[in-house]
Amino acid sequence: MKAKITFNKNFVIDKIDNRLYGSFIEHLGRAVYGGIYEPLHETADDKGFRKDVLELVKEIDVPIVRYPGGNFVSGYNWEDGTGDKSKRPRRMELAWNAIETNEVGIDEFQEWTRRADSSVMMAVNLGTKGADEARNCVEYCNSNTDTYYVNLRRKNGFEDPFNIKVWCLGNEMDGNWQICHKTADEYGRLALETAKLMKMVDPSIELVVSGSSGFYMNTFGEWDMKVLDHTYDLVDYISIHTYYGNGADDTADFLSMSTDMDSYIKAVAAMCDAIKAKKHSKKTVNLSFDEWNVWFHSHEQDKKIEKWQIAPPQLEDIYTFEDALVVGCMLMALQNNCDRVKIACLAQLVNVIAPIMTETGGDAWAQTIYYPFMLGSRYGRGTALKTLVECDTYSTKKHSDVPFVETSVIHNEERKEITVFAVNRSLTDETELELFAENFGDVKLLEHTELYCDDLKAINEKDAQRVKPVNVPVTDSRIVIKKHSWNMLRFGY
């Protein structure tokens, strides 16, 4: 097969916000305890953070990490995770039926993000709590006044504010699984009043309002429009979430799921703009795609987990090579919509549906999905360009006219480089790529990195990295991408 990809230096989608390469740590399973934090681990640093995990996190360069949930946040009292560790309460954690020891809280997590060269994206509890706790949390984290919560932070050993810039107003509040889930009007009013107080305490923060928790929720659309109508003037982003799976074992269809992600983004952006028009507003509300990934492998085993354990192994999906292709395509959908998606969080980061796996007391290693994310994050910084892709298409039970080749093109002016990411969705044929880089002058292929495995179900284990990127020798004549492969082509000009 052949595919022709044309792009032009002047035909720009937008500059990519680096926060597109964010991630997520929830108090869930072994994400925190046994994941980022394990004081008795042989690599633990002075604060109990696993240095082997920190190294793997730094490699993928995540500028922002959402915390502490997720569903967890809707029953969370943020003060439980501050101050003297020996006095912190143990709680029944109702979102995931576990015991939360509160050994880690915002005091520790903000320090962990510094050590990971990252920053915190903080979520407040709009399930069991409300505006008062949220504004107190902003005061504790960001203020410098001689007042109760600032002095509490000082007493806890933190003279300087944490300066957390991005705050989520609750999580998935339309979902009936959510602790104290709400109607759109109940949530919209609460989010508005909470936003008001939080911005009074610190006007420099950015706020993310919870959109409906999925494209196929029956609340989708009406929820988003109502919630935006209530909060438009005070919020900066609306959150969207999606997880894909291949439960039906239909790989051709699974590989096409990123086209749904593209439609989802465009639909929510349209709703933001409809409310903008209705309100005659000059401000644009953008999107925070703050949970996205593949998630389905662990569903059955999670049903067997006993309640009220501390950090049980929950949502521990072991990812296959085909999952890595889907994650690669999803990241391209985000890059190609970077005019509207300013923040995105691969959900999650360690152990829980995550690119990084650990053994408690043992090793840490990269899952298959680690690699397209790592290279996308490292080389996908700059300006996303519009592409014209001419190639054959295919149809599945659920999708029609899916292009065999998915691509995104990023121009990095500083490095004088163009990076083309490309997935070949064909399960049988290699594809020869013809690239037309207009208005760049002479371009030269510097690197072709490929993620390929003959076995679509191959997984990585701690001592067997079967799926990892390799360099393909570069020639001047042809660029060929293998059947079902993820590729990165870096050009200089």
Q: Show which residues are catalytic.
A: 172, 291
* By the rule CB under 6 A, 70 interacts with ligand AHR: yes
Tell whether residue 326 is a contact of ligand AHR (CB under 6 A): no
Cis check: omega of the bond before 473, within 30 degrees of 0: no
Contact predicate 349/67, CB 8 Å: no
Q: Of 100 and 172, which CB lies nearer to ligand AHR in the complex structure?
A: 172
Q: Which of 194, 213, 171 is nearest to 72 (CA)?
A: 171
- Residue nearer to ligand AHR on the CB measure, 126 or 451: 126
# residues contacting ligand AHR (CB under 6 A): 9
| CA terminus-to-terminus distance, the chain | 27
Does residue 347 belong to the site contacting ligand AHR (CB under 6 A)?
yes
Question: Which residue in the set 93, 172, 202, 417 belongs to the binding site for ligand AHR (CB under 6 A)?
Answer: 172
Burial of 307 from C-beta contacts in 10 A (0-12 / 13-18 / 19+): exposed
Q: How far apart are CA 371 and CA 123, in angstroms?
A: 28
Q: Establish if 93 lies at the interface with ligand AHR (CB under 6 A).
A: no
Distance (Å, whole) CA 348 – CA 364:
15
Burial of 442 (0-12, 13-18, 19+ CB in 10 A): exposed
The amino acid at residue 79 is: E
When the beta carbons of 25 and 329 are compared against ligand AHR, the nearer one is: 25
Write the DSSP symbol of residue 20.
G
Residues with Cβ within 8 Å of 46's Cβ and at least 6 positions away in sequence, in order, are none
In whole angstroms, how close is the CB of 72 to ligand AHR at the nearest point?
6
Of 108 and 291, which CB lies nearer to ligand AHR in the complex structure?
291
| Closest distance of CB 39 from ligand AHR, Å | 25
- Only segment of 68-76, 82-90, 106-114, 429-437 that touches ligand AHR (CB under 6 A): 68-76
Binding flag, residue 350, ligand AHR (CB under 6 A): no
Match 């990519």 to its residue by tokens: 16
Q: Which are the contacts of 159, defined by CB distance < 8 A and separation ≥ 6?
A: none
Residues 281-310 that bind ligand AHR (CB under 6 A): 291
| 219 binds ligand AHR per the rule CB under 6 A | no
Nearer to ligand AHR, 29 or 382 (CB): 29
Beta bridge partners of 239: 210, 288
Rule CB under 6 A: is residue 71 a binding residue for ligand AHR?
yes
State which of residues 219, 239, 259, 348 lies at the interface with ligand AHR (CB under 6 A). 348
Collect all residues with Cβ–Cβ distance below 8 Å to 113 and sequence separation of at least 6: 65, 119, 120
Q: Does 100 bind ligand AHR (CB under 6 A)?
A: no
Contact between 171 and ligand AHR by CB under 6 A: the answer reads yes
Q: Which stretch binds ligand AHR (CB under 6 A): 69-77, 124-132, 411-419, 471-479?
A: 69-77
Q: Which residues here bind ligand AHR, judged by CB under 6 A?
A: 26, 69-71, 171-172, 291, 347-348
